[in-house]
Amino acid sequence: MKHMKLYKSLLAALCLSIGLYFVYSWLTNAPDIIVESKNITEIYTYIKPNEYNKDLLVIFDIDNTIAKPPTNLGSDQWFYAMKKKLEEIGKSDQESIDLLLPHYIQIQHHTWLIPVEKDTVQVINNLQKKGVSVIALTARSLELTQRTIEQLHHLGIYFTKTDPHECPLKYGDKKPGLYIDGIIFSGNYDKGEMLVNWFKQIKYRPKKIIFIDDKLKNIHSVEKALHNRDYPFIGIRYGYTDEQARNFSLESIADEQKQFFTEHPFVKPLLVP
Ligand SMILES: [Mg+2]
């Protein structure tokens, strides 16, 4: 009888603890906000006057969010259209990437980027000037680390100004992702996975995150990876370059592409006709 009473008390305590845990989770898990935007300056709408400090982390994607090549050659839309073409002739996802990457890198090494909008560079500099932590999170791979940093410096963008961690850090083994100079190069890895792992490595805990990227899948990836946190996450799906990307065709760039690889010969010829 005595044991039964104890058992009931323990059971009641357990139920109460579980209940309290759910109430606590419900109260502390901040809701996610995902919005669409076509202008980089709209980022200010999501920052309260008292949030301009290092506890706010603003994360920028690079390609088609802050910068793009002056023509479609070497652009994001060029890469994915070429990849699709390779897949149509029977190459797998990874084979297509492996075949394309050296050509993409070759173009980047001979191309300076331009800002996506006239206000892009100023917005980044302004956030940094106000003490906000600012980093970039790109799917570009390891081989393009130094060249990407050069391309951004050429635009007047330095992610080292207010990044929360100075030393380079890698993630993964075979072909690792890399954090260097305020930029996370996720390469083969999921953007969310890469970001969360970096937070863990440097024991970083912002009070609010704003992430801006032209691809909704990246916004969802980061949102998913950051679940169960107690600070707000705002994902901005950025659409300034949507129309340019939508209207792009490989035919429209065929001559320029041919001329580029004639002027900058590549060891192996392009495998796509
Ligand atoms: Mg992008």
pLDDT tens, 247-260? 999 999 999 999 99
C-alpha–C-alpha distance, residues 18 and 22, integer Å: 6
Compute the distance from residue 263 Cα to the ligand 1 centre, in Å.
28
The three-point CA angle 82-86-92 to 5° equals 125
User: Quick one: 8 and 50 in the same domain?
Assistant: no
Mean pLDDT for 31-54 is 95
Cβ pair 67, 121 in contact under 8 A? no
The three-point CA angle 214-175-65 to 5° equals 15
| Any domain includes 272 | no
Compute the distance from residue 77 Cα to the ligand 1 centre, in Å.
10
User: Quick one: 3 and 51 in the same domain?
Assistant: no
Q: Which of 61-65, 167-171, 179-183, 265-269 has the lowest mean pLDDT?
A: 265-269
User: Quick one: 4 and 109 in the same domain?
Assistant: no
Cβ pair 67, 238 in contact under 8 A? no
| Any domain includes 271 | no
CA 245: distance to chain centroid? 18
User: Quick one: 22 and 83 in the same domain?
Assistant: no
Query: Residue 188 carries which DSSP code?
Result: T
User: Quick one: 53 and 172 in the same domain?
Assistant: yes
Percent of the chain with pLDDT over 90: 75
| Any domain includes 10 | yes
Burial degree of 125 (CB within 10 A; 0-12, 13-18, 19+): middle
Whole-number pLDDT of residue 8? 72
Percent of the chain with pLDDT over 70: 88
Domain count, the chain: 2
Whole-number pLDDT of residue 12? 66
User: Quick one: 121 and 223 in the same domain?
Assistant: yes
Residue matched to tokens 């969360």: 196
Residue 127 in this model has a pLDDT that exceeds 60? yes
Quickly count: other Cβ atoms within 10 Å of residue 100's Cβ: 21
Q: Of 108, 102, 98, 99, give the one whose Cα is nearest residue 76.
A: 108
User: Quick one: 20 and 53 in the same domain?
Assistant: no
Structural domain for 2, as ranges: 1-30
| Any domain includes 270 | no
Residue 269 in this model has a pLDDT that exceeds 60? no
Compute the distance from residue 270 Cα to the ligand 1 centre, in Å.
24
Going by pLDDT thresholds of 50, 70 and 90, the confidence category of residue 270 is low
User: Quick one: 38 and 21 in the same domain?
Assistant: no
Q: Which of 74-78, 122-126, 138-142 has the lowest mean pLDDT?
A: 138-142
C-alpha–C-alpha distance, residues 23 and 214, integer Å: 35
Tokens of 72: 């479609």
| Any domain includes 269 | no
Residue 42 in this model has a pLDDT that exceeds 90? yes
User: Quick one: 4 and 88 in the same domain?
Assistant: no
Q: Which of 58-62, 184-188, 264-268 has the lowest mean pLDDT?
A: 264-268
| Any domain includes 226 | yes
Compute the distance from residue 155 Cα to the ligand 1 centre, in Å.
17
C-alpha–C-alpha distance, residues 120 and 59, integer Å: 13
| Any domain includes 273 | no
C-alpha–C-alpha distance, residues 138 and 58, integer Å: 14
User: Quick one: 49 and 92 in the same domain?
Assistant: yes
Residue 25 in this model has a pLDDT that exceeds 70? no
Compute the distance from residue 241 Cα to the ligand 1 centre, in Å.
10
Residue 137 pairs with which residues in a beta bridge?
Answer: 184
Interval 141-171: pLDDT, tens: 889 999 999 999 999 999 999 998 888 898 8
Which CATH number characterizes residue 185's domain? 3.40.50.1000
Q: At 110, which amino acid appears?
A: H
Whole-number pLDDT of residue 273? 46
User: Quick one: 39 and 145 in the same domain?
Assistant: yes
Mean pLDDT for 118-133 is 98
Mean pLDDT for 239-243 is 98
User: Quick one: 44 and 6 in the same domain?
Assistant: no
| Any domain includes 268 | no
C-alpha–C-alpha distance, residues 134 and 58, integer Å: 5
Compute the distance from residue 208 Cα to the ligand 1 centre, in Å.
22
Mean pLDDT for 96-103 is 92
Residue 28 in this model has a pLDDT that exceeds 60? no
CA 214: distance to chain centroid? 9
Compute the distance from residue 248 Cα to the ligand 1 centre, in Å.
16
Going by pLDDT thresholds of 50, 70 and 90, the confidence category of residue 26 is very low
